[in-house]
Amino acid sequence: MGAIPKDDMASMEHPLFSLGTRPDLRILRYAHNDTQIEVTPSVRGLATIHDKDILIFCISQLMAALNAGRAVARAVQMCAHDLLVATNRDTSGDGYQRLRDAFERLAGTRISTNQVTGGLEVTSGFGLIESWEIIRKSRGGRMISVSVTLSEWLFRAVMAKSVLTLNRAYFTLRKPLERR
């Protein structure tokens, strides 16, 4: 939980996340130098800049493990409460529901790109996360443990250490444009 916040450089360079608070159903297209990116929302809308906190948390955990010499995998298991606390989110029942909604948007937002990650240019289409899973629930129905499987694209970026360190105060920023 105490891992230093890290973010991947590719999603920092290109605006993949919605800055809106309402469902954003636009298809976004970007071209920069030789890189083409198309971002397609699910029926729930594009993943938001606040949903990105989950990816930042996962990247941070993976980088901490790599730096400590531990083995890592695309599937990251975590305590839901630790994720909420580390990203400065509400830990009430509503906070857990918003976390589940964020998983849905991250998995549903589709990226098509030829972006180079980890030294490879691969044209592909994928979700921001491949999948998510609530491992257990408490008697009150609150999720205890969750698993997030990152896309190959994002995992390749982590393995190549194409990440930057964020200030811990990032999670206290509430306005989407400040986060961007």
Q: How far is CA 8 from CA 1, 52, 101, in A?
A: 18, 11, 22
Q: What is the enclosing helix (H) or strand (E) of 133? A: strand 129-137
% of the chain surpassing 90 pLDDT: 52
In which band, very low, low, confident or very high, does the pLDDT at 100 lie, cut at 50, 70 and 90?
very high
pLDDT at 118: 66
For the stretch 119-172, pLDDT in tens is: 777 788 899 999 999 887 667 666 788 999 999 889 988 999 988 888 888 888
pLDDT at 31: 86
Cα(70)–Cα(100) distance, integer angstroms: 28
Angle at 4 between CA 83 and CA 84, to 5 degrees: 15
